[in-house]
């Protein structure tokens, strides 16, 4: 979770408000309208929201006054000079992307129907993509129709008549149709006498319905028909089928889209030819026409490829602009092959191929003059620390200092021990700085850091809070970045060191690229050899006593056990405490000879650290915990992980929890207790039982749950992709990302004339997915 302070929020709000004011208060600075921005950001500032309520309805003068008042409330010191409010823009005469759909000839109720689908402008309509397609190109001749089949056919009307059935008094319209080969059938409409008027003898129609064959006599009960001389949007082509709602017919949607394409045949293409050509992307007008009414399969493919590319391109642009830190000049390190060799030789084991690759990628970044921003992602136990150590070593050999920041003291200590082990023999001076140290100890470390007597300092937030002054900070390594707030990160990075972020969360690469946007990613997708997989078993809740009988055996062998229980709701700290307490009490009754303690979310960081430290020293045997077990803490003596109500966890989370055991050389186990044994649940949990590959599991997780649930869609800025599929589009995402970077490097604010359409489209998309204030 990214942590945003009130001050940061105020800052984020001030910028668009100032711009709105400078723009003459026309409510066009913020995509989606100023009020929507406030809904999203102004939670902590109710006065501001109240001030700007109904903004769009206010006269311009009043808008300006309110904006100034709001800015004052947000602590804005120097509002810019305000130009005279301009007249509201006249409605455009010609149709543009933002023209409301009701200017198109849609027939009565058209606007309302489209509004029900969230379609308000011509742009919305053009980008209202079909859900699927039906191939209605080659229509069968009448002779080949079989009884009971549903078909679409075309034929010329030879004659027509209205008849009344003798018994039930139904009105039938009957028309004899002739196909191109001279075969005939009788088309029948039940109780639609008005069809008589629509049918013209000699005209060609296209009709869809069900076939009935009685000997040589063929009838078609018509469900839908249209004149082929008209637009014939529903037949004779690859026909689009749109996502829709009750009361909004496919024919209406096809017609509406067609009208939009007619009214705006050349929508501005956000991608200039120069960007499209090398990527073999078709132009936007073509892509939009073909995605709705494809000429053939190949054209459809090309259209989809272009539109999917756009989705990712705009997403990447947004992420990069949002993080606002693209391509800064950083430090140039000299990376010597001899140093890397010395590093490898000092290790007690050979590096894995993945580690070698990651080290190459990281050192290449360090050697370049761009500031490194790289995410090192690897499953628990994949050996990230060694990779970080290589980078720290290179920095030290260049005479630069490094900082490694961990989210908790216990993790900081663990890193300190490991890094000392790797780096001391190479002459690198490593120090620890944590809150628990005495004032005198801290003072001494700080002095040594300031005077350059320390090469690597490992710590917690203390690294920031204690106002550490580095002599020359060149590299910052951040473990488990999501635990840190944005501000904290910035504070550490103010000297613009190269940055390496380590994360054990096995986010699929495509998703990582999207979520982290500005970070390059190195992946450790290979485990060090000899690691035994954790043996995993799925149990229904009624057999959970078996899990605890097994736990007792493990404890009797002198091993330790984790028991994890989920909480119902993250916010319910009380409930969490109760759940953990109840479970611990139950287990104490069940296992009287086992020493049991609790760890839960209501404890302070120091209390948690203390419990983990005692567990590590084997002062008790079984730890009952809510999900707050410190990720990354090594308890080599723990051999069993029991997870209650496993169905309430995400697969990736279960895999991480399981990674807490099996860190020693003993056989390790994980038991998943399923509180709900529905098919769907068991299918999900079986993934964990059957695989120990974190990336595979994460992909599955994404597939089975959808990306939205991984981090909370809205906040993380995950897009609503209409065409893209995060689980499959890795290459496409990378290509889009590379282009986004190229564009922003050339034109960081998209002010160049050739990027005008791109910028506008970016703003419109931001509005469509509910994201505000992009540039
Ligand atoms: P992570 O931080 O990715 O969870 P660590 O860096 O803590 O993993 O490494 C886990 C364990 O594996 C450590 O004990 C480390 O010494 C060991 N290890 C790391 N790389 C290798 C390797 N290439 N071969 C054997 N053991 C390794
Ligand atoms: Mg680690």
pLDDT class for 650, splitting at 50, 70, 90?
confident
Which atom of ligand 1 approaches the CA of 659 most closely? 4
Quick check: do 359-368+382-503 and 535-691 share a fold?
A: yes
Superfamily of chain region 359-368+382-503? P-loop containing nucleotide triphosphate hydrolases (3.40.50.300)
Domain 132-241 is of which CATH architecture? Beta Barrel (2.40)
**Listed residue (556, 535, 538) closest to 547, CA to CA:** 538
For the segment 438-463, the average pLDDT, to the nearest whole number, is: 91
Q: Does the structure show a pLDDT above 70 at 266?
A: yes
pLDDT greater than 60 at residue 775: no
| Lowest-pLDDT range of 23-27, 397-401, 567-571 | 567-571
Q: pLDDT digit string (tens) for 446-455? A: 999 999 999 9
Q: How many CA atoms lie within 13 A of 401 on its CB side?
A: 24
The answer to whether 555 touches 622, Cβ cutoff 8 Å, is yes
The encoded tokens of residue 587 equal 């287990």
Model pLDDT, residue 767: 63
Residue 443 pLDDT > 60, yes or no?
A: yes
**Which of 51-60, 193-202, 552-561 has the weakest average pLDDT?**
51-60
Mean pLDDT over all residues of the chain? 82
Q: How far is the CA of 380 from the centre of ligand 2 (A)?
A: 7
Half-sphere exposure of 16 (CA within 13 A, CB side): 23
pLDDT of 644 = 92
Pocket test for ligand 1, best of 343, 383, 418 (most atoms within 8 A of CB): 383
Q: For a pocket test of ligand 1, which of 343, 344, 380, 385 has the largest count of ligand atoms closer than 8 A to its C-beta? A: 385
Quick one: pLDDT at residue 239?
A: 84
The answer to whether 190 and 201 are in contact (CB under 8 A) is no
Q: Is the pLDDT of residue 85 over 70?
A: no
CA-closest residue to ligand 1 atom 20:
383
More confident residue, 92 or 721: 721
Mean pLDDT of 503-507: 70
Ligand 1: which of 375, 386, 406 to mutate, most ligand atoms within 8 Å of CB?
386
% the chain with pLDDT above 90: 37
pLDDT on residue 715 = 28
Angle CA 400–401–403, to nearest 5: 145
Q: How far apart are CA 128 and CA 122, in angstroms?
A: 10
Q: In what order do the strands lie in the sheet with 473-479?
A: 430-433, 456-459, 401-405, 473-479, 498-503, 373-378, 520-524
Closest CA to 477 of 444, 449, 502, 494: 502
Closest protein CA for atom 15 of ligand 1: 383
pLDDT number for residue 288: 97
pLDDT at res. 576: 65
Q: How far is CA 272 from CA 752, 753, 756, in A?
A: 12, 11, 10
Model confidence at 481, pLDDT cuts 50, 70, 90, reads low
Where residue 279 falls among pLDDT bands split at 50, 70, 90? very high
Full DSSP string of 276-334: HHHHTPPPHHHHHHHHHS-SSHHHHHHHHHHHHHHHHHHHHHHHHHHHT--S-B-PPPP
Average pLDDT over residues 524-553: 90
Residue 716: pLDDT band with limits 50, 70, 90? very low
**From the CB of residue 143, how many other CB atoms can be counted at a distance below 10 Å?**
12
188 pLDDT more than 90: yes
Instruction: Over range 167-175, report the average pLDDT.
Output: 87
Phi-psi region of 122 (alpha: psi -120 to 50; beta: other; left: phi over 0): alpha
DSSP 480: S
Q: How many other C-beta atoms are found inside a 10 Å radius of the C-beta of residue 751?
A: 10
Closest atom of ligand 1 to CA, residue 378? 3
pLDDT at position 518 is 60
Answer whether residue 270 shows pLDDT above 80.
yes
User: In this structure, are residues 640 and 561 in contact, taking their beta carbons and an 8 Å threshold?
Assistant: yes
**What ligand has the least distance to the C-alpha of 410?**
2
Whether the full predicted model's pTM is greater than 0.85, yes or no, is: no
Q: Provide the β-strand partners of residue 540.
A: 674
- Element (DSSP H or E) covering residue 744: helix 730-746
Q: Calculate how far, in angstroms, residue 376's C-alpha sits from the geometric centre of ligand 1.
A: 14
Identify the residue with better confidence: 392 or 136. 392
Three-class secondary structure of residue 602 per DSSP: coil
Nearest C-alpha neighbor of 340 from the set 318, 363, 316, 319: 363
Contact 476, 458 (CB under 8 A): no
Confidence of residue 251 (pLDDT cuts 50, 70, 90): confident
* Closest atom of ligand 1 to CA, residue 351: 23
Q: Give the per-residue pLDDT at 380.
A: 76
Residue closest via CA to ligand 1's atom 10 equals 381
- Give the per-residue pLDDT at 771: 36
Reported as a pLDDT band with limits 50, 70 and 90, residue 579 is confident
Name the H helices within 659-716. Answer: 679-690, 694-705, 708-711, 713-716
Instruction: Provide the pLDDT for residue 570.
Output: 42
Write the CA distances from 516 to 144, 168, 329, integer angstroms: 57, 68, 19
Please report where in the chains the tokens 């054990």 appear, as a residue: 504
- State how beta strands 456-459 and 401-405 pair: parallel
Domain 535-691 listed as CATH 3.40.50.300: yes
Q: Rounded to an integer, what is the distance from CA 720 to the centroid of its chain? A: 8
Ligand 1 midpoint to CA 552 (Å): 29
Distance (Å, rounded) from C-alpha 442 to C-alpha 457? Answer: 12
- The pLDDT of residue 458 is 96
Give the number of the atom of ligand 1 that is nearest the alpha carbon of residue 479: 2
User: Which of 35-49, 551-565, 672-686 is the most confident on average?
Assistant: 551-565
CA-proximal residue: ligand 1, atom 2 (nearest):
384
The per-residue pLDDT for 269 is 95
User: Does 126 have pLDDT greater than 90?
Assistant: yes
pLDDT digits (tens, 9 = 90+) for 224-236: 787 765 556 776 7
C-alpha 316: how far from chain center:
11
- Looking up tokens 């129907």, which residue turns up? 113
* Domains of the chain by residue range: 6-87, 132-241, 359-368+382-503, 535-691
Ligand in nearest proximity to the CA of 380: 1
Residue 377 pLDDT exceeds 70? yes
From the CA of 524, give the closest atom in ligand 1: 3
Q: For residue 711, is pLDDT > 50?
A: no
Where does ligand 1 bind, in terms of residues with CB under 6 Å? 349, 351-352, 355, 378, 380-386, 504, 528
Q: How sure is the predictor about 289, in pLDDT bands with cuts at 50, 70 and 90?
A: very high
């Amino acid at each position: 979770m990214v942590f945003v302070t009130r001050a940061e929020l105020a800052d984020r709000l001030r910028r668009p408000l100032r711009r709105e004011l400078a723009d003459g208060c026309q409510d066009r600075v913020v995509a989606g309208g100023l009020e929507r921005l406030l809904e999203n950001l102004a939670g902590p500032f109710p006065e501001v929201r109240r001030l700007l309520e109904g903004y769009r309805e206010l006269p311009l003068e009043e808008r300006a006054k309110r904006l100034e008042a709001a800015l004052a409330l947000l602590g804005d010191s120097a509002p810019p000079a305000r130009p005279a409010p301009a007249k509201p823009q006249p409605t455009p005469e010609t149709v543009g992307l933002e023209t409301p759909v009701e200017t198109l000839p849609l027939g009565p109720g058209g606007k309302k129907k489209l509004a029900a689908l969230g379609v308000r402008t011509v742009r919305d309509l053009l980008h209202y993509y079909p859900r699927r397609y039906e191939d209605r190109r080659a229509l069968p001749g009448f002779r080949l129709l079989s009884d009971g089949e549903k078909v679409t056919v075309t034929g010329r009307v030879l004659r027509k008549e209205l008849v009344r059935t003798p018994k039930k008094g139904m009105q039938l319209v009957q028309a004899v149709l002739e196909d191109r080969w001279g075969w005939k059938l009788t088309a029948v409409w039940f109780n639609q006498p008005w069809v008589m008027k629509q049918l013209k003898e000699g005209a060609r129609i296209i009709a869809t319905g069900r076939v009935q064959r009685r000997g040589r006599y063929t009838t078609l009960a018509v469900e839908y028909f249209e004149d082929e001389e008209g637009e014939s949007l529903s037949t004779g082509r690859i026909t689009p089928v749109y996502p829709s709602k009750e009361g909004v017919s496919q024919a209406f949607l096809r017609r509406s889209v067609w009208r939009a394409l007619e009214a705006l045949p050349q929508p501005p293409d956000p991608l200039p030819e120069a960007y499209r050509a090398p990527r073999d992307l078709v132009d936007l007008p073509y892509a939009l026409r073909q995605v709705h009414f494809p000429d053939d399969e190949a054209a459809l493919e090309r259209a989809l490829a272009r539109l999917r590319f756009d989705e990712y391109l705009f997403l990447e642009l947004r992420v990069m602009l949002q993080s606002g830190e693209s391509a800064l000049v950083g430090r140039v390190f000299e990376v010597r092959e001899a140093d890397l060799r010395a590093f490898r030789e000092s290790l007690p084991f050979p590096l894995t191929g993945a580690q070698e690759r990651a080290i190459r990628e990281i050192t290449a970044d360090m050697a370049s003059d761009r500031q490194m921003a790289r995410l090192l992602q690897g499953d628990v136990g994949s050996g990230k620390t060694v990779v970080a150590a290589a980078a720290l070593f290179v920095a030290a050999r260049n005479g630069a200092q490094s900082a490694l920041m961990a989210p908790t003291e216990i993790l900081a200590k663990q890193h300190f021990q490991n890094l000392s082990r790797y780096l001391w023999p190479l002459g690198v001076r490593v120090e620890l700085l944590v809150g628990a140290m005495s004032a005198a100890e801290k003072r001494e470390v700080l002095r040594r850091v300031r005077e350059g007597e320390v090469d690597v300092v490992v710590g917690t937030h203390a690294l920031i809070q204690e106002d550490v002054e580095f002599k020359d900070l060149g590299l910052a390594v951040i473990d488990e970045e999501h635990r840190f707030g944005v501000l904290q990160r910035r504070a550490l990075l103010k000297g613009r060191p190269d940055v390496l972020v380590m994360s054990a969360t096995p986010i699929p690469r495509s998703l990582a690229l999207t979520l982290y946007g500005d970070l390059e990613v190195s992946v450790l997708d290979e485990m060090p050899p000899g690691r035994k997989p954790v043996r995993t078993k799925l149990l229904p809740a009624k057999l959970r006593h078996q899990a605890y009988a097994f736990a007792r055996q493990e404890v009797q062998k002198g091993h330790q056990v984790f028991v994890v229980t989920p909480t119902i709701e993250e916010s319910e700290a009380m409930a969490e405490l109760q759940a953990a307490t109840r479970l611990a009490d139950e287990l104490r009754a069940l296992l009287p000879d086992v020493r049991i303690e609790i760890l839960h979310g209501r404890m302070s960081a120091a209390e948690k650290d203390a419990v983990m430290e005692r567990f590590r020293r084997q002062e008790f045997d079984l730890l009952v915990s809510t999900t707050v077990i410190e990720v990354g803490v090594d308890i080599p003596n723990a051999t069993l992980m029991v997870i209650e109500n496993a169905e309430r966890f995400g697969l990736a989370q279960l895999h991480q929890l399981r990674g807490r055991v099996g860190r020693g050389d003993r056989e390790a186990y994980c038991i998943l207790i399923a509180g709900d044994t529905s098919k769907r649940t068991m299918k999900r949990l079986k993934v964990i039982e059957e695989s120990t590959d974190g990336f595979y599991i994460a992909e599955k997780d994404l597939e089975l749950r959808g990306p939205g649930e991984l981090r909370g869609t809205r906040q993380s800025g995950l897009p609503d992709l209409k065409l893209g599929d995060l689980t499959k589009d890795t290459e496409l995402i990378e290509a889009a990302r590379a282009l986004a970077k190229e564009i922003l490097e050339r034109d960081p604010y998209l002010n160049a004339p050739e990027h005008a359409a791109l910028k506008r489209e970016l703003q419109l998309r931001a509005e469509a997915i509910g994201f505000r204030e992009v540039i």
